[in-house]
Amino acid sequence: MTISRFLGKAVLYLAAFSAVFPMVWTAINAFKNRVDIVTPTPLFIFTPTLDNFAYVLGRESVAAGLVNSLLSAGGSVLIGALLGLPAAYAIARYPNRWSADIQFFVLSLRFLPPVAVAIPLMVIWLDLGFYDTRLSLIVTYTLLTLATVIWLGVPAFARVPKEVEEAARVDGYGPYAVFLLIALPIASRSLIGAVAFAFVLVWNEFLIALMLTTSDAKTLPIVASELTQLGRDVPWGILNASVVLLSIPPLLLIGILSGLLNNAFRRKSN
């Protein structure tokens, strides 16, 4: 093994360790008592406890926040996918002089800082009487998911071979059938990643949810932040447990989508 190759692998392993270790350490601390967390010497051998998870799951606000997060994030991703995937396909397959401007506008929605969007939207929802509702969150999050799905979907559809679509048209497929039965399955690997990425973005979104909710529609990240107590007695175990629970739904979604995609490709290959 050459030195350059060894250094390259070492850098990759170091980067992987830097990314994974904080998550592993958070999961470990979720099973510790507070005295085991704040000790000057990190403890790798300790008596695990489920009190932190029991405290988090026993709060009614956590259950309400979980429902609000699932409905707002799931609804916005569903609407974003239903509207964004056809839009991305149209931009990729039927370009015109406005296509570049549309893509730049979609990308510019992600450039804006959340506070620049949250304050005007807060005023709008207050005037319409929909402040602190799931509807306001779903509509607002749809702006984020729609931009993400379109921006990531355009290159995915652009990589679909045009010859395959032309052959389908020769066989009598209409434009909608070509999109649903040909282009969508071929680009599904990249599109599933785009949808999962959009879900993670809105699931973890904090500032917009903080500005647009007060009590009824609070999402899980807002509820988790409220578990922090002021002063020196910070409940580190409870906070780590809330982070672990907050990370489970996106991981489950990615796992389910990956499993469905692998099964679909296995059936197709057989």
Picking from 10-14, 79-83, 139-143, which range would have the lowest pLDDT averaged per residue? 10-14
The predicted model scores a pTM of 0.82
Above 80 in pLDDT, residue 113?
A: no
Q: What amino acid is encoded at 77 in this protein? A: V
Residue-level pLDDT at 224: 81
What's the fold here for domain 20-269?
Answer: MetI-like fold (1.10.3720)
* Per-residue pLDDT tens digits for 135-154: 999 999 998 899 889 988 98
Tokens of 100: 């570049």
Q: 10 Å Cβ neighbour count for 184? A: 17
- Rounded to whole angstroms, the Cα distance separating 228 from 231 reads 9
Tokens of 64: 């309400």
SS3 content of the chain, % helix, strand, coil (to 5): 75, 0, 25
User: What is the average pLDDT across 187-198?
Assistant: 87
Above 90 in pLDDT, residue 71?
A: yes
Q: How confident is the model at residue 230 (pLDDT cuts 50, 70, 90)?
A: very low
Q: How many angstroms from the chain centroid is the CA of residue 193?
A: 10
CB 164 within 8 Å of CB 182: yes
User: What is the average pLDDT across 245-262?
Assistant: 78
User: What is the average pLDDT across 26-41?
Assistant: 84
Tokens of 98: 């406005």
Nearest to 106 by CA among 47, 147, 52: 147
Number of H helices, E strands in the chain: 14, 0
